[in-house]
Amino acid sequence: MRYVDEYRDTRIARALLADIAATVTRPWTIMEVCGGQTHTLIRQGIDQLLPAEVDLVHGPGCPVCVTPLAVIDRAIAIAKRPGTILCSFGDMLRVPGSKEDLFQARAAGADARVVYSPMDALAIARREPDKIVVFFAVGFETTAPANAMAVRQAKALGVENFALLVAHVLVPPAMLAVLAAPGNRVQGFLAPGHVCTIAGWTEYEPIAGAFHVPIVVTGFEPLDLLEGIRMVVEQLESGRAEVENQYVRSVQRAGNLPAQQVLAEVFEPCDRAWRGLGVIPASGLRLREAYRAHDAEVLFPAQGPEAEESERCIAGQVLIGRAKPDQCPAFGTECSPEHPLGAPMVSPEGACAAYFLAGRTRRVEEVRT
């Protein structure tokens, strides 16, 4: 398969691993920011092949994982309202809210539908004009432009019954939060290649400078990740802290300017709560004033107090790289993909689910006895 197989060549992978081993002289902690990267690393077992000095910790770049409980509850409440249809990407339906998830709400009569694009949700809105169709807009800079396009088109076409429940978040503020957290161990980053395809990497330059951390924009295939790790290790070993681009086949420094223009037209930055991390200033996007008629937060204001996260779930620690999934007492016991305590166990890109799905259940045998 072109554009895939050439980035999975095992011979080159072994050469890159040997390079990393030859370069590293002392322990380093590197965070891969994006859940897609975590997924490949764990699925392919790359973390197990790296020299012991290189410790990979998993970052907050899983959109399903960082969407707060209160927002999930809100989506469920909207899906349960008569006359509304909540449309979402598939993995959001299994994320536990405080009482139930969207699949359970659907079994109890709520109208929650899986779509594969916000444009599909817009098509449902046009087909069913007597219903209000709400698209659950989650994700980072990567998914935001398509959602912006959908709502812009809804406005242009006069589709008044289409709204977005926006939970978009931005990567650079989360990286700043990780670096500023007490006891931070992260010394270098693999920045998310797809986010940078849209947003470019200029925003990462001041972070690299201020915190003296190397940041390498990295892709998602095994060779991308190994090359990205090698580039970070080389910087760390030589005392450099720059932004470099491994994912040259997709990313340019300025990013995708037309996508950025659509984003700027439709959304504006706002403070946003992250699951497990709390409120991070200017870390999210919300619809601009001109699109308030399509804003589900305005149409369906929150009711009642917001639910608290489970105390037994250490998602917040996992999402900032302070703990690994299998260090959680609930991992594989109380918390599993069929009964997730927290969101990182839901999406395959969540670090906890990536560990579980790859069978990093070293305690499975103990659990059974």
Partner 1 sequence: MTGAGEAFALQCPAPLPPGGSVLIGHGSGGKLTAELIRTVFVPAFGGRELAKLGDAAVVEMGALCVAFTTDSFVVDPPEFPGSDIGALAVNGTVNDLAMMGATPLYMATAFILEEGFPMDTLRRIVASMADAARTAGVELVTGDTKVVERGSGDGVFITTSGIGLVPPGVLIGPDRARPGDVVLVSGPIGSHGVAVMSRRAGIGFDADVASDTAPLTGLVQAMLAAGDVRCLRDATRGGVASVLNELAEASGVSITVRDEDLPVLEPVRAACEMLGLDPVYVANEGVCVAIVAPGDAGSVLAAARSVPAGARAEIVGVVEAGPARVRMETGLGVTRSLIMLAGGQLPRIC
Residues 6+ apart with CB under 8 A from 363: 326, 331, 332, 333
Q: Which is nearer to partner 1, 212 or 312 (CB)?
A: 312
Does 63 sit near partner 1 (CB under 8 A)? Answer: yes
289-320 b/e (C-beta count within 10 Å ≥ 16 → b): eebeebbbbeebeeeeeeeebbeebbbbbbbb
Residue (of 160, 155, 87) closest to 117 by Cα position: 87
- What single letter denotes the amino acid at residue 163? A
- The pattern of x and - marking residues 102 through 121 that bind partner 1 according to CB under 8 A reads -xx-xxx-----xxxx--x-
Binding residue for partner 1, selected from 214, 287, 348, 352, defined by CB under 8 A: 348
Does 252 sit near partner 1 (CB under 8 A)? Answer: no
Pull the structure tokens for residue 158. 């006069």
Does 48 sit near partner 1 (CB under 8 A)? Answer: yes
Q: How far is the CB of 181 from partner 1 (least distance, A)?
A: 25
* Cα gap 315→345, rounded to integer Å: 9
Does 8 sit near partner 1 (CB under 8 A)? Answer: yes
Per the CB < 8 A criterion, the answer to whether 331 and 325 are in contact is: yes
Angle at 282 between CA 116 and CA 117, to 5 degrees: 5
Residue (of 75, 26, 36, 87) closest to 58 by Cα position: 36
Total site size for partner 1, rule CB under 8 A: 66
Residue (of 156, 190, 369, 112) closest to 266 by Cα position: 156
Does 365 sit near partner 1 (CB under 8 A)? Answer: yes
Does 248 sit near partner 1 (CB under 8 A)? Answer: no
* Cα gap 149→117, rounded to integer Å: 11
Does 50 sit near partner 1 (CB under 8 A)? Answer: no
Binding residue for partner 1, selected from 74, 94, 272, 324, defined by CB under 8 A: 94
Per the CB < 8 A criterion, the answer to whether 341 and 310 are in contact is: yes
Binding residue for partner 1, selected from 7, 28, 36, 149, defined by CB under 8 A: 36
Does 230 sit near partner 1 (CB under 8 A)? Answer: no
What phi, psi does 270 have (nearest 5°)?
-150, 165
Pull the structure tokens for residue 40. 């490949």
Pull the structure tokens for residue 105. 């709400």
Point out which span in 211-219, 268-276, 294-302, 341-349 binds partner 1 (CB under 8 A): 341-349
Binding residue for partner 1, selected from 153, 184, 310, 317, defined by CB under 8 A: 310
Q: How far is the CB of 335 from partner 1 (least distance, A)?
A: 7
Binding residue for partner 1, selected from 15, 27, 43, 157, defined by CB under 8 A: 43
Other Cβ atoms within 10 Å of 130 Cβ, number: 6
Point out which span in 77-85, 230-238, 275-283, 330-338 binds partner 1 (CB under 8 A): 330-338
Per the CB < 8 A criterion, the answer to whether 106 and 344 are in contact is: no
Binding residue for partner 1, selected from 37, 143, 235, 246, defined by CB under 8 A: 143
Does 250 sit near partner 1 (CB under 8 A)? Answer: no
Residues of the shown chain interacting with partner 1 in the complex, contacts defined by CB under 8 A: 1, 4, 8, 10, 13-14, 36, 42-46, 48-49, 63-64, 89-94, 96, 99-101, 103-104, 106-108, 114-117, 120, 138-140, 142-143, 194, 222, 310, 332-339, 341, 347-349, 356-361, 364-365, 367-368
